[in-house]
Amino acid sequence: MGFLNSQVRKGFLIGLGIPAAILGFVFLRFDAIEKVVSLNMLTGLIALAVLPNALFFFLALRKKNEAFAYGVLSSCILWALLTFGVKLFG
């Protein structure tokens, strides 16, 4: 099961895209980027935006689509590293 499998790629892109869309919606709709950064709430907001990935992960496992679940899980790990980096350096 390589990373170039289409199901893995689809899961990875959905796992990256859904939280990015949620963060973009929150920042553009509420115009809250300055407030979120000044209150050090960015890492918590990123963590909340990644929660829908758990739904996609468990649905993929229930449907016996391990490759898609692997892609979603790898994107969650990438989001976790981003959150850690923001918390550590931000």
Distance CA 87, CA 83 (A): 6
- Residue 67 maps to a domain: yes
Residues in CB range of 61: below 8 A, 6 or more apart: 69
- pLDDT, mean of residues 49-55: 94
- Based on the structure, what is the number of domains in the chain? 1
- pLDDT, mean of residues 7-14: 94
**More confident position, 75 or 2:** 75
Cβ-contact 50, 76 below 8 angstroms: yes
Q: Which of 24, 46, 42 is nearest to 34 (CA)?
A: 42
- Residue 57 maps to a domain: yes
Specify the pLDDT at position 19.
Answer: 96
- Residue 54 maps to a domain: yes
Cβ-contact 32, 25 below 8 angstroms: no
Q: Which of 68, 22, 16 is nearest to 45 (CA)?
A: 22
Tell me the pLDDT tens digit for each residue of 72-83: 999 999 999 999
Specify the pLDDT at position 90.
Answer: 72
- Residue 1 maps to a domain: no
Q: In which domain, by residue range, is 31 found? A: 6-89
Specify the pLDDT at position 1.
Answer: 54
- Residue 60 maps to a domain: yes
Indicate the range of 26-30, 60-64, 66-70 predicted with least confidence: 26-30
SS3 90: coil
- Residue 59 maps to a domain: yes
